[in-house]
Every structure is written in C-alpha cells, then in structure tokens.
Amino acid sequence: MNFWTKLSRLIIKGRIPILLLIAAATYFLVLQTEHLRFSYTEANLLPSDHEVNVEYDQFLDLFGEEGNVIIMGIKDSTIFNPEKFNAWNTLAKEINFFEEVDYCISIGDIKKLVRDDANRKFGIAPILEDTPTTKEEVLAIKKELFNNLPFYDNILYNKETGTIQTVIYLDKKIVNTSKRKDLILGKFTDIVNKFENDTDLNIRVSGIPYIRTLNAQNIENEMAMFVGLALFVTALIFFLFFRSFRATFITLLIVSIGCTWAFGLIGLFRFEISVLTALIPPLIIVISVPNAIFLINKYQQEIKNHGNQAKSLQRVISKVGNATLMTNITTASGFATFIFTKSSILVEFGILASINIIAVFLLALLIIPIMYSFLPVPKTKHLKHLDRKWMGHIVDWMEKMVRQHRFAIYVTTVILIVASIIGIYQMKIAGSLIDDMPKDKEFYSDIKFFEEEFGGIMPLEILIDTKEPKGVMQLRTLKKIERLNETIDEIPELSKSLSITNLVKYSKQAYYNGIPKYYQLPTNQDKNFILSYAKNAGGDTDLLNNFVDSTGQYARLTTYIKDIGTTEMEAIEARLKSKINTEFEEDRYDVTVTGKSLVFLKGTKYLINNLVLSLSLAIILIALFMAFMFRSFKMILISIIPNFLPLLITAGLMGYFGIPLKPSTILVFSVAFGISVDDTIHFLAKYRQELQANNWKVKKSVYAALRETGVSMFYTSIVLFFGFLVFTVSSFGGTVALGGLVSITLLFAMSSNLLLLPSMLLSLESTIANKKTLKEPTLPVLPIENLDDDDK
C-alpha cells in the first residue's frame, strides 16, 4: 500500500477532525484580517541596501519626506473677479487651519521681503493690505505678483497662461499614515467641493499625497470587485462544464475558504495591501479551480466506471493526488522565484502566492472527498458532461492534427518562433510612478494639467554636500548651483528648479528695494551685506531650512519631472550628471541625484535586469521537479520546450503591440510558466502510465493520454483564461496588461501542450520510449489504472 492510498483512507476515516481543523484554521485567519492595512506609499522596487535607496534615505534624513505637498490649481480668468479671488484666498486659509497641515502658501498669504535698514535685516510686508473689493485692486495684485515677484514663478503662478495654484504642505508625520487618507477623502474633499459649488470654478488637485490616497482607494475598491468577479466567472464556467450545482457549490466552498485564508495570511504576515498583493485573493480563486476540476472530474469518471463511491473517493486521492501536488508545486515555484529578487514588494507577493497555492491544493484534496462522502452518489445527469459530443470533436481534431499534420505543427512552431524573436527586438523598457494609474480617473487628468502648467508633480531632488559647515552659502557654491539650475530649466521634461539660489536672488531683489532686474545672484561686492540681512531675518522669513540643512553643509535642489519612461529618464540623468561632473569638483563636493521618481525608475530597471534570473530559476526548479518525477533528461527537454514557446510568443506580441517591459508586465513570464507547465505534468504522467500499460507502444500511449487528459486540460485552460481575463476590467494599466498577457500565454500553452508536446513524443519515439530512458520515477506519479486499491 503506497503513501497516497494510506492518505486517502486516513482522510475518509478522519473526515470530522479534519473539517474541525479547517474550521479552526479559518477562524484563526479571519481574526488576522483585523491587521489588514493598505499601503500609503509607492512600491519600492529596490533592495533596502541598494545604492539608490541609501542615497534617498540620506536625503530623507536631512530634509524629511519630500512627498508631502498637495497642490490646487485654477486656470480660469474669472478667478480674478473680487468675489472668486477672495473665496480662493479664504479656502487656503481654512485649509491652513487643518491640524494635519503644516502650512499653506497661496496668493492671499504672500508676504514679500522688504529691506529694514534700521535693524539690518529683511522684514516682511503682505501684498494684500486689505481684502480687495474691486476688479482693479485684484488686477493690481496680479500685476505685482506676475511682474515683480519672480521668486514665486512656477510656485504660485504661470505667467504665460494665468494659471494660479495653492501649495499645501502636510505635516510630515502623517504623510504615510491613515490620517492622510482621512484628511484627503474627508474634510479636504468636502471643502474643495463646496468651493466649486459656490463659485462654479473647477479646482485641479494633485501632489504625491493626493495621488497616493486616491490610488490606494482605487486598489481597495477594485480588490473587492476582482474577488466578486473571479468567483462569479469561475463558478459560471465550472457549472457550464459540469452542469452540477453540487460540484459547483463544493468548488465555491473551497475557493471561498482559500480566499479567506489569503486575506488572513496578508494580515498574519503584517504585509501591506499594494497593487500587487491586492491581486492575491482573486488570483488564488482562479488558480484553485483547476484543482477542483481534476479531482471532481476523476471522481465522476470513477463513479461512471464502477459506481462504488468509497472506491471512487479513495482513487481520487490515491490516483490524482500526487500529480496534482506536483502541478501545484510547480505553480507555486513560478511565484516563489520572486522571493529571490530582493525587492520587498515582489518578495511579499512571492511568499503569499506560493503559500496560498499550496494551501488551496490541500483544501481541495481534503474537502472534495470529504464533502462527497456525505453526499449521495452522483446521478446519471451529473455525468453527462463526460460524454459531450462537442468535446469529443475537439479531442478528435487534436488527435487528427497530431496523427496526420505533425509537419504543419512544426512549421507553424518555427514561424511563430521567428516572428516572436523579431517582436522581442521591438520591445521597450518603460516605467514611471503614474504609468499604470487609471487613465479615466479625474486625478490622472489633473496630473497632466499640472505637467502642462507647472512642469510636473513628481519630485526629483539633487543633494549637494559641500563637505564643510556653511559651505553652501559660499558664493562659489551658489554660482555652481545656479549654473546647474540653468541646465535643468533647459530640459523640457523638468520643471523650473527651486533651490537656495532662488532665495538668495530674491534677497538681492529685496535689498535693492524690490526692483525685478536685481533678481540675480549677488556679486562679491554686495554678497556680504545681502547675506547678513538674510541671516538676521527671523520667523516666517527664515526660509533657509527648506533649502539648506542646519549645518549649512548640505543643499537641496528640487525640480519636478513629467511622466516619462526609463529610457528618457536615463538620458536626463546622464545630462545632469555630466553638468554636475563639470561644475562640482569631486574633492570639494559630493552630489547625488535622487527623489521618489528616480528611485521608482531605477527599480524598474533593476527588476527587468532580474527578470532573466527569476525566469531562469522558475525553469530550473520546474526542470528539477520533472527530473524528480521522470528521472530522464530527454523528458525534461521535451517538457520545457512546449512551455517556453508560449513565453516567447507573448514577448513577441508585447513588442508588436508596443506593450513595454515594466514592473507589472514582467510578472507575466514567471507566473504563466509556473501555471502552464501543470498541463505538461498531467499529460506526461498519463503518457508514462499508458506506456507501461501498453508495452511501450508510443502511438497508442500518446493518443490514449491525449484523450484522457485533453478534456481536463481544456477545461482548466478555459477557466484560467477567463479567470485571468477578469483582471482586464481593472482601471490600472499594469493589472490589465498582466491579466491579458497571462490569459493569452495560457491559451498558447494549452495549444502547445495538446499539439506540439504529443507531436514531439511521436517524432522522438525511438529515443524515449524505452525503460532505459524512462526509468522508474522517484514518485509513482500515476499508478496503473487497472489495479484496484486492494491489490496494492
């Protein structure tokens, strides 16, 4: 009696304790869902010790969170009517009183620097002495702002288009917490909506905190939608195939428990729900259904053959259990390879997916036999699907193709390989913080608005270390920073830069009584007077902390970048570094380019470089499983080729249709490979069994295996196709691409395993169909069918 026979008897005899254990585990994991929390930051795709992350962390230590700015903009000439202008300033003042807001800068708050010779310092004077009541007064303020205060250009206004904006700085302590969500989706949205209703003006809102919040809310909404859709679609397809409410109910019970476990494990591990981990529950629903198909289909075949329920339930476990375990292990291995990427978000995704895949396999292996043991034997009407004529026609066609048209299959394969390779050379690498965000959402159009009006909303930072205290304020350093500013201003993808030199130039303008032509760096003659005035300025005028650290050794230069891809970013980075190397001597300065947008783009490149590693690991792991089962190198090659071909085709299609390689699409290959190889395992396991039963006659064995496994492989592939297709209804571009590409890949994989694989077995008949090539497997994948359990 082998292991699986013993296990089958143990499951049937211990069905009550097993059900209680499942219920207890489910209850425990339900309790863990209280720890579920959504991610409040973008995914960091780089390892924590990566050089780019180390540089970014150094910047955060010196200047704090960069992504704490919300911007509100209006492009409407009627804003300069007194009523609307005053309402705009009142809105900013009300927002400024929110406890979550650090401070707010708006036209109504502008205070210009003025020279105070009595105290040898700069004082402040408001532009708005009184609330304007006439249009002439408002236009005078506009003229003063647009013509005489260049410091605020691209901060509070766009002189060319007349667009104005308010800049809101959130308390950095709440930026990455749930309080940010409560603020933005609560009183902030309420007060903005009220302003729009009262003034009939359209406010554009953006900024990293705002985008993060709405994006996270979108993920939360879509996760519930995906779970519901995945349950509905898979249940519907399953019912259409089996025409049995009983079988459908049992399958839904398994996937529901599996989905609950998926949520519970996220909470148990204290992982955050991100755009990737949000896919785990619906993914588990889709992947768990094929287990039910193979197990229930086997049970019904056994009932049809001999009608003995006890023997049928035992054979479900003992004859399909091991093969199903192997297929789930290979699928889990495809996901587990992400653990080796050293990217925290992919590591979490790999851990959760691989554990949950094994968990739903165990649930199916335990629940299906146990539930059927409590139910009466299926009636004849429940077994009709086993004799469907249309399914028979499909199997007949596949057998005809393999038997008579193998040459056409090989020619088609070669053509597809050549075409795919051509397509691969057209593939591009892309990735940005907002690339996969919903294009149909209002906040995405607002992002594009601020890109057009103010140059972008994604911060790009340059950190300058002068290697000596107070080194930033040396005129030599200021001139170097200004020349770097000028280079940035020449790059169309970047906004106008903001640094200490802007404040120093503003100080010189104030020193010369606000005359705009003096908005420039001081000369050697006047720098000491001007900087002494600036240093003596106190209170709200001490703006140095925004640009220089407390020691005066480090300076920051901030610009904002448009939504560009990896290639464009690399060109910009190269241009900036070339200017930095020219201006800043290595022995005097350390200059680093950093910022959240750069970290994300570097992460994209890092992941793509690791794609080969991840996919190679998946292939090696699966090859090892094949070797473990079949102990034949030739069989390993035969099994890998039909599953590698669909990946090649998918990569080629990505090139032809302009779908770039990015964090969301590079997942396709390891995921699809791990899933598609399942069919190969089932087919080869049955093929080996038929070889032994038919005295090593290849043709008879191949056709028998094709007829036996073809139906289940077709069923599971269709379920997986439509299950992954559910993800294409997402508003996230990356999720759509993932769902569509995996669905297409799995269809090609089904065709490859049902046509190319048996064709290869027949063509290589003389070299593989012998006991020497096919040694006794390490594990008895599928026992010979005509042996009864009692005979073993």
538-592 pLDDT per residue, tens: 444 345 677 888 888 999 999 988 888 777 888 899 999 999 999 999 999 999 9
- How many C-beta atoms surround the C-beta of residue 381 within 10 A? 9
Report the C-alpha gap between 507 and 512 in whole angstroms: 9
Q: What is the pLDDT of residue 784?
A: 38
Cα–Cα nearest to 652, from 424, 418, 413: 424
pLDDT in tens, 33-64: 998 887 766 667 777 788 888 999 899 888 88
Q: What is the pLDDT of residue 83?
A: 92
- How many C-beta atoms surround the C-beta of residue 361 within 10 A? 24
Band (pLDDT 50/70/90 cuts) for residue 199 is very high
Let me know: does 269 contact 355? Beta carbons within 8 Å.
no
User: Mean of the per-residue pLDDT values for the chain?
Assistant: 83
54-68, 237-251, 272-286, 538-552, range with the lowest pLDDT: 538-552
Q: What is the pLDDT of residue 788?
A: 39
Please spell the DSSP secondary structure of 512-539, one letter per residue: TTT-GGG-S---TTTHHHHHHHHHH--G
Instruction: Kindly tell me if the per-residue pLDDT of 786 is higher than 50.
Output: no
**Mean pLDDT, residues 302-323 taken together:** 80
C-alpha 169 chain-centroid distance: 28
State percent of the chain over pLDDT 70: 91
Cα–Cα nearest to 429, from 594, 664, 649, 741: 664
Q: β-pairing, 69-74 with 163-170?
A: antiparallel
DSSP 472: T
Instruction: Kindly tell me if the per-residue pLDDT of 530 is higher than 70.
Output: yes
Q: What is the pLDDT of residue 542?
A: 45
**458-465 β-sheet, strand order:** 554-561, 458-465, 590-594
User: What share of residues in the chain are helix, strand, coil (percent, to 5)?
Assistant: 70, 10, 25
Instruction: Kindly tell me if the per-residue pLDDT of 387 is higher than 80.
Output: no
pTM: 0.76
Instruction: Kindly tell me if the per-residue pLDDT of 790 is higher than 50.
Output: no
The alpha carbon dihedral of 530, 533, 535, 541 has a sign of: negative
The better pLDDT of the pair 535, 710 is held by 710
Give the 3-state secondary structure of residue 765.
Answer: helix
Distances (CA, A) of 663 to 45, 108, 220, 566, 627: 8, 43, 20, 12, 32
pLDDT in tens, 597-650: 788 778 777 777 776 777 777 777 777 777 776 677 777 777 788 888 888 888
Report the C-alpha gap between 404 and 513 in whole angstroms: 93
- Which helix or strand (DSSP H or E) is residue 158 part of? strand 157-158
The alpha carbon dihedral of 11, 379, 295, 249 has a sign of: negative
Q: What is the pLDDT of residue 456?
A: 82
Q: What is the pLDDT of residue 535?
A: 62
Report the C-alpha gap between 206 and 192 in whole angstroms: 13
Report the C-alpha gap between 496 and 460 in whole angstroms: 11
Cα–Cα nearest to 590, from 749, 732, 467, 415: 467
349-358, 394-403, 478-487, range with the lowest pLDDT: 394-403
DSSP 184: I
Q: What is the pLDDT of residue 630?
A: 65
Cβ contacts of 415 within 8 Å, gap of 6 or more: none
pLDDT in tens, 111-166: 788 887 777 777 777 777 778 888 888 888 888 888 888 888 888 888 888 899 99
Residue type, 185: L
- Structure tokens of 547? 């640009």
Q: What is the pLDDT of residue 194?
A: 94
C-alpha 70 chain-centroid distance: 24
**Mean pLDDT, residues 271-279 taken together:** 80
Cα–Cα nearest to 413, from 21, 27, 756, 49: 756
